[in-house]
């Protein structure tokens, strides 16, 4: 029962976050900005430690991960400069998580690699600095 009460509290808090001016106006307005011409699994998080969320995209390889043409890319806000974390590899999977897995103060990436017969889970440790994160696989 404790879990249910947390769910209700979270739901109520989410409702209270909506600004009253927007609620009274009856409409929300969004602008659209193209970041890149890639598609795949997407995660949002602060990769370079500047306090602003960046975008990480995991694109599948062709033929369910059997071809070496998949990638994991980081797009830095606000310029959306693309940096490859992994390029031209066998990638196929549904998960991409940004978290400080090793508790060293910077966000790392966890994703999957391979296909049904060759599946693996990979951790990419962010071992760089705020200007240019480096990645240890």
* Structure-model confidence comparison of residues 123 and 23, the more confident one: 123
Distance CA 107, CA 95 (A): 16
The model's pTM: 0.72
Query: What is the share, in percent, of the chain residues with pLDDT greater than 70?
Result: 72
pLDDT at 2: 37
Distance CA 81, CA 63 (A): 28
User: Smallest Cα–Cα separation from 73: which of 81, 83, 65?
Assistant: 83
Show Cβ contacts of residue 114 under 8 Å, excluding neighbours closer than 6 positions.
65, 90, 91, 92, 93, 120
pLDDT tens track for 45-97: 999 999 999 999 988 877 766 777 888 899 999 999 999 988 887 676 778 99
Enter the tokens of residue 75.
Answer: 């797009």
Q: Residue 32 CA to chain centroid, in angstroms?
A: 19
């Amino acid at each position: 029962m404790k879990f249910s009460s947390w769910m209700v509290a979270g739901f109520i808090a989410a409702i209270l976050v909506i600004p009253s001016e927007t609620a009274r106006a009856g409409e929300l307005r969004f602008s659209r900005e193209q970041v890149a011409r890639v598609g795949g699994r997407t995660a949002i998080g602060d990769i370079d430690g500047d306090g602003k969320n960046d975008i990480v995209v995991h694109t599948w390889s062709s033929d369910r991960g059997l071809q070496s043409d998949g990638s994991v890319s980081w797009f830095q806000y606000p310029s959306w400069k693309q940096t490859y974390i992994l390029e031209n590899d066998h990638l196929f999977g549904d998960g991409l998580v940004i978290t400080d897995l090793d508790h060293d103060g910077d966000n790392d990436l966890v994703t999957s690699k391979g296909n049904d017969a060759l599946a693996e889970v990979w951790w990419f440790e962010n071992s760089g600095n705020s200007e240019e994160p480096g990645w240890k696989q």
